[in-house]
Structure 1
């Protein structure tokens, strides 16, 4: 059975520049099995002391990716920033391998447009987003995530089925899940502050706050 079917926790990170290594480290700290790939031997040697699986390879080559087993990963992040050509060719190779979720770093709007056109499903701008934040978005169902300090976060999440149809005062999310629901957007309506009488419907989006682990667990309920 392939890793794609057997274990959804594995994530490949291609490119170990400042953003890529930060992202790979954050994903590892979140308990995910990370395969890190870079074409530069010095970077591979440096990060092999900090990450469990670091290999040297040219990720623009579809055959090299296949040989490394990247085809078995559901999620792959192309964190290459120095070379637009290498970034685009790597995304193209991953798309040819039918990787279900391709996340790619963009350095400009034009770069982002090209990445999307060749197969990237999600485009990220590291200049505006930290490695920790992107790591949380990649591994959860959160629509957005902001971390404050060491152990507090706010996230935007699609409402879990268990919270649909009853007022928040009955659901008591703070007691059951350890998070406060501070805002809600019902389908066709604008965001508004949530109160005990708020009733969530299917398709609603909520803003929750709590410690990082609690927010992460709540996001996985959906």
Structure 2
């Protein structure tokens, strides 16, 4: 992980908590020091320096993410250095469409717009009754919604959600319980939370039934 701002640091911490080996790099010594208790391998360095990257073993890592979205020049020079030392898969955060186009032209495998993605998610939540929302592709989504009142006490098979609403029920959470996979014989309890999938319009329409 190169760049330990809000996005980079949180991704690095999450990966570490998931049990992955993470080498985190930033040129600011204060940032490095602040994360030294949360990350196992965090180093102050200039990520545009090919020699420094080689010495740290960066080419040995399966993936490298460049989270220097606001520092466009440093981001591009870092990607160039990573390419030169033979990193096979590079992910990078972009701050604009122009930045993203250059990253794509440089061979970056995945270009990420975290602010735009979060803005889209919040926008959908603001204008709907969904409890949570994850867009997958151009017109498909997973959504969390409360069980509609007229569906309480009825089985998944009886409700025919696909035929009536064009959505599939993935999971159900009863009050005080963890989510469980939905199956045809499952009866929806009161005050439960549902995970559904379908087009964006379909999951929004289903959430509006609550």
Using structure 2 for the length normalisation, give the TM-score: 0.57
Q: What is the CA-CA distance between 1:30 and the residue it aligns to? A: 1.8
1:89-108 map, 5 Å: 89-108=77-96
Distance 2:71 2:88 in 1: 24
Offset at 1:33?
1.1
- Structure 1, residues 138-189: CA drift from partner, whole Å, max 9, x if none? xxxxxxxxxx77xxx97969xxxxxxxxxxxxxxxxxxxxxxxx99xxxxxx
TM-superposed deviation, 1:25: 1.0
| Matched residue, 1:29 | 17
Q: 2:48·2:77 contact (CA, 8 Å) conserved in 1? A: yes
Q: Which consecutive aligned stretches of 4+ in structure 1 deviate over 3 angstroms post-superposition?
A: 153-157, 192-195, 208-212
Corresponding residue for 2:71? 83
> Structure 1 residue 115 and structure 2 residue 103: aligned?
yes
Give the direction of change, closer, same or farther, for the CA distance of 1:102–1:194 in structure 2 (3 Å limit): same
Q: Is the 8 A contact 2:70 2:95 kept in 1?
A: no
Query: Is the partner of 1:90 in helix, strand or coil?
Result: helix
Check if 1:45 corresponds to 2:2.
no
Instruction: Show CA shifts across 1:110-162 (max 9, x none).
Output: 000111112311100120346xxxxxxxxxxxxxxxxx77xxx97969xxxxx
Tell me the distance in 1 between the aligned counterparts of 2:171 and 2:52: 42
Q: In structure 2, how many angstroms separate the alpha carbons of the residues matched to 1:209 and 1:48?
A: 38
The aligned residue for residue 3 of structure 1 is: none
Q: Between Structure 1 and Structure 2, whose CA radius of gyration is higher? A: 2
Counterpart CA distance in 2 for 1:97 and 1:119 is: 14
1:64 to 31, 48, 52: 52
In structure 2, list runs of 5 or more residues that go unmatched. 119-130, 138-160, 173-177, 182-210
Aligned-partner SS, 2:102: helix
8 Å contact from structure 1 (residues 16, 38) kept in 2 = yes
In the other structure, the counterpart of 1:172 is none
CA distance in 1, matches of 2:9, 2:47: 16
- The answer (yes or no) to whether the contact 2:68–2:75 under 8 Å persists in 1 is yes
Cα drift, residue 18 of structure 1:
0.9
SS in 2 for 1:89: helix
CA contact 1:84–1:111 (8 Å) conserved in 2 = yes
